[in-house]
Structure 1
Amino acid sequence: MRNLQITLAVADEQYIEPFLLYARTGEFAKQVSVRAFSKVEAFLAAMGEGRPDFVLGEPDFLSPWLASEGGKGVPWAVLGGGEESIALGGPVLLPFQPLNLLLTAVMDLAGSAQASSANGALTLSGKAEVLAVYSAAAGAGKTTVALNLAKQLGGRGLKVFYLNLETVDSSVTFRSGSGGHQGREGGLPELLYDLRAARETGELFRSPLSRYASFQERMKCASFPPLDRPDELLQMDQADTTALIDYLAASDMCDIIVADTDTESHERSEALLDRADRVLWMLTDDLLHLQKAAGWMNHWETRQPERFYALLGKSHFIVNRYGDHLENTLPRPEIRPFAFLSYIPSWKYVSREDVLLGSPIFQRDILALCEQLGLGERGNRSATGRELAQAAGGWQ
């Protein structure tokens, strides 16, 4: 895969020199190639001869370029912060910030733009894997598994995004007060609004994920701030959900998305199951739970057979709260356990949510599940994930 071709256009040569040095020798050396210009005339001439993947420049450079035919179809961002920068109507990045964060934001913007189709809708770029944690019956420990999975994958060096699509978010306390949401203009509600607006107007959607989400140190992953009310989720249809997931998957700030949704069948959950690359289908060794799961499977097989078999083809059945053996007979031949997660008796008496992320036995089982799924470390990205968590409070 070739490097991302970036054109940098700023008047200050003393800014250009360290930028080029970092891009050529730092952690992004194998991911980006940068060509820099300090004169407007030279920049415009070069842009007339070729088209880079992304342009990062000051307003004095971008204004004449955007007014020309050559400025159409190339993703860009303003390097600045004043009224002149905002007036151009595109994404604005502050020049004096850690270069690793600046280049991460540039790659995020470039990835989102490349994933945009001609009509403004987002399509999968194939970058981040979408892993849905699902159960056809309540009480299987979906959210506990999803949170532990996100934490362990984040701890292994992957850049993880935890996406909760439950109508009533049961993970709220894990994501409040730990990531620092100051500066996040609106989180998920604002992102949904912006995605809808882009689809309606046919415009390229360039806003970086860091504008809406933040890194959660306790969970070792990123997520949206918790919602005060479920109104936005209740209004989400299948198109909204698919656009949201595609946008996240296209972001260079994500290696994997761990998504959690309701057991009830609605457009959000259906869209997630359709869009997911793999589904972890949670089960418990409980007669009523297994009967309900089989009932839903029978219903889907009768009403939507193609969709049902597509779902089965990418599902891994996980038995949670497992003892030494299964007491009940599995109700359908397709239900073949892929992994077992231990029953933790002490969780019955837990009064603090963070205890659910600290069981050594359960963490061992989750790590074993990660190995079975083939989700290991990605050494070339782990440093970026750590730096995002440490520098300037995470995603800024």
Structure 2
Amino acid sequence: MKSMRNVRITLAAADERYIEPFLLYARTGEFAKRVSVRAFSQLDAFLAAMAAERPDFVLGEPAFLTPWLQGEGSRGVPWAALDGGEAENAALGGTVLHAFQPLNRLLTAVLDLAGTAQSAGSASQAGAQIIAVHSAAGGVGKTAVALNLAKQLGGRGQRVFYLNLETWDSAASFRAAGSESGLPGLLYELRTARENGEACRSPLSRHAPFQEKLKSLSFPPLERPDELLQMSEADTAGLLDYLATCGACDVIVADTDTEDHDRCRALLRRADRVLWLLADDLLHLRRTAGWMNHREARQPAEFYDLIGRSVFAVNRCGGRLDNVLPRPDLRPLAFLSYIPSWKALSREDVLLGSPIFQRDILALCEQLGLGGSRRPPPASAPYAAAAATGGAS
């Protein structure tokens, strides 16, 4: 797992009573491994420091930003203003963030803006890796695996986005609602940008808050599934491309239905890795093999490309397999433990707090190489050859 370089933030605010809790939270909270903050309450000290160094991001009150922005040293340094008076904000003309919003939201917005600026300034920067958690049959614990995967990666310092594309969102209770516009607002902006032939430049923090339970960004739950049901394959692909390239994420953990609809098809085509969950159950394995046989016969090139990006894991495993795997390419990379206490689940923290399952998920993360290059390793030779020729080699 690669270590993420801290984002160097310079904070400029006149009131030390604002600076002190900000620094304490940044140095001891969940962002401690992701940011380093220098703070100034005196204008002269701030300007002298900015003349001597270039931080990754500047967050300051207009009284500090105005003289700094008039100098040469501000060029190329992304910044945002802490909300002052309307006249001051209008004169600056840049992004304005509310100073007294919860600090986790404020720092998430800062990291979002800093990441977007770095992405725009470097054409060679790789985007986020998209991990699709998939199964050919329901009831295998797909959402539980996706939630734990997102939480464990987020807890290890990765910038994670948990994307739930299920028609009936089984993870809604793990995500808090907020003032952000959510998925509907972002889809509207993406469609508008696409119709105008432009790139969507809306910051992700405008649409998705940081979800403390998951240690990840995620859209607030939808009140109704209408927006999801109306999503086309192009809408889903555009959403995934935006999330992967907006600069705010390292990893996207995506969870969708087992049904063959536009959202699922777009995710399986766009994902860098497909974590394919299996159950040690004869009927489940037969259904999985049937799905694979059908796809291989009808769409061989697409099927071999998919399998080349797939890894298989057996969930709810008691330690050994009781059934024979029906296809030779169903080779499990990992075995995730069966947690008996989940059968009588009454508290959400139990689902995300099993030490045994956390151990298994962390081992799976290492095996997947999450946090490395966005593109997965090359497909195995037989699948690569089959994908190139449109059939089995």
TM over 0.5: yes
Amino acid at match of 1:137: A
Compared CA separation, residues 84 and 309, structure 1 to 2 (3 A) = farther
Distance in 1 between the 2:48 and 2:195 partners? 38
- 1:223 pairs, out of 210, 218, 221, with 218
Partner of residue 249, structure 1: 244
Counterpart position of 2:86: 82
Q: Which moved more, 1:145-154 or 1:78-87?
A: 78-87
Q: CA deviation at 1:356?
A: 1.2
Residues 146, 255 of structure 2: 8 Å contact kept: yes
**Which of 190, 200, 204 is the matching residue for 2:199?**
204
State the partner residue of 1:110.
117
| Greater shift in the superposed pair: 308-317 or 358-367 | 358-367
Instruction: Return 5+ residue gaps in structure 2 as ranges.
Output: 1-6, 8-40, 58-64, 373-393
Q: Secondary structure at the match of 2:247?
A: coil
Q: What is the Cα deviation at residue 92 of structure 1?
A: 3.0
Question: Which of 255, 261, 269 pairs up with 1:260?
Answer: 255
Instruction: Measure, in 2, the Cα distance between the counterparts of 1:312 and 1:212.
Output: 33
Match 1:183 to one of 176, 179, 183: 179
Counterpart of 1:107 in structure 2: which amino acid?
A
Secondary structure in structure 2 of the residue aligned to 1:317:
strand
What is the aligned partner in structure 1 of residue 376 from structure 2? none
Q: Which residue of 2 aligns with 1:234?
A: 229
Structure 2: which amino acid aligns with 1:146?
A: A
1:261-313 alpha-carbon deviations (Å, 9 max, x no partner): 10001111111111111110000011110111111111111111111111100
1:193 aligned residue: 188
- Conserved? CA contact 1:127–1:255, under 8 Å: yes
State the alpha-carbon separation in 2 of the partners of residues 146 and 289 from structure 1: 19
SS in 2 for 1:318: strand
Q: 2:46 aligns with which of 9, 15, 18?
A: 18
**1:357 to partner: Cα distance:** 1.1
RMSD: 4.1
Paired residue for 2:4? none
How many aligned residue pairs are there? 332
Residues 1:133 and 2:133 aligned together: yes
Cross-structure match for 2:154: 154
Q: Provide Cα deviations, 1:292-349, integer angstroms capped at 9, x if missing partner.
A: 1111111111111111111100101000111132111111111101000011222222
Change in CA separation of 1:208 and 1:262 when aligned onto 2, cut-off 3 Å: same
Percent of aligned pairs sharing the same letter: 58
How far apart are the structure 2 equivalents of 1:39 and 1:319?
56
Contact 1:91 1:206 in 2 (8 A): no
User: Aligned equivalents of 2:302 and 2:77: distance in 1?
Assistant: 38
CA distance in structure 2 between the partners assigned to 1:28 and 1:93 by the alignment: 17
The answer as to whether partners of 1:133 and 1:261 remain within 8 angstroms in 2 is yes
Partner secondary structure for residue 316 of structure 1 = strand
Q: Is contact 1:140-1:320 (8 Å) kept?
A: yes
| Residue 312 (structure 1) aligned to one of 301, 307, 314 | 307
Q: Distance in 2 between matches of 1:171 and 1:359?
A: 17
SS in structure 1 at match of 2:217:
strand
Amino acid at match of 2:262: E
Deviation at 1:95, TM superposition (A): 8.3
Alignment pair present for 1:92 and 2:107: no
Moved over 4 A (4+): 13-17, 22-27, 39-43, 52-58, 78-81, 83-88, 95-103, 111-116
Contact 2:316 / 2:339 at 8 angstroms: preserved in 1? Answer: yes
Please point out which of 278, 287, 294 is paired with 2:282.
287
Q: Do 1:108 and 1:208's aligned partners in 2 also have CA atoms closer than 8 Å?
A: no
Q: Distance in 2 between matches of 1:40 and 1:357?
A: 45
Question: Does the 8 Å CA contact 1:188/1:224 hold for their aligned counterparts?
Answer: yes
Aligned amino acid, residue 236 of structure 2: T
Amino acid at match of 2:185: E
Cα distance in 2 between the residues matched to 1:329 and 1:294: 12
List alignment gaps of at least 5 residues for structure 1.
Answer: 5-12, 30-35, 59-77, 117-123, 378-396
Q: 1:352 aligns with which of 338, 347, 350?
A: 347
Deviation sequence 1:131-185 (CA, Å, 0-9, x none): 1100011111100000011111111111111100111111011113xxxx4431x
**Cα distance in 2, alignment partners of residues 23 and 323 from structure 1:** 61
C-alpha contact 2:56 2:78 (8 A) present in aligned 1: no
How far, CA to CA, are the matches of 1:341 and 1:287 in structure 2? Answer: 18
Tell me if the contact between 1:57 and 1:79 (Cα under 8 Å) persists in the aligned partners: no
Of stretches 14-23 and 142-151 in structure 1, the one that deviates more from structure 2 is: 14-23
**1:294 aligned counterpart, secondary structure:** helix
- 1:205 partner SS: coil
Structure 1 contact 113–206 (Cα < 8 Å) conserved: no
SS, match of residue 188 in structure 2: helix
Q: Which residue of 2 aligns with 1:10?
A: none
Distance 1:275 1:114, change over 3 A: farther
Contact 2:178 2:220 in 1 (8 A): no
User: TM-score, normalised on structure 1?
Assistant: 0.71
C-alpha deviation, 1:372, in angstroms: 1.4
CA distance in 2, matches of 1:28, 1:37: 18
In the TM superposition, what whole-angstrom CA distance separates every residue of 1:105-135 from its partner, at most 9, and x where no partner exists? Answer: 432443575799xxxxxxx962211111000
Matched, 1:325 2:332: no
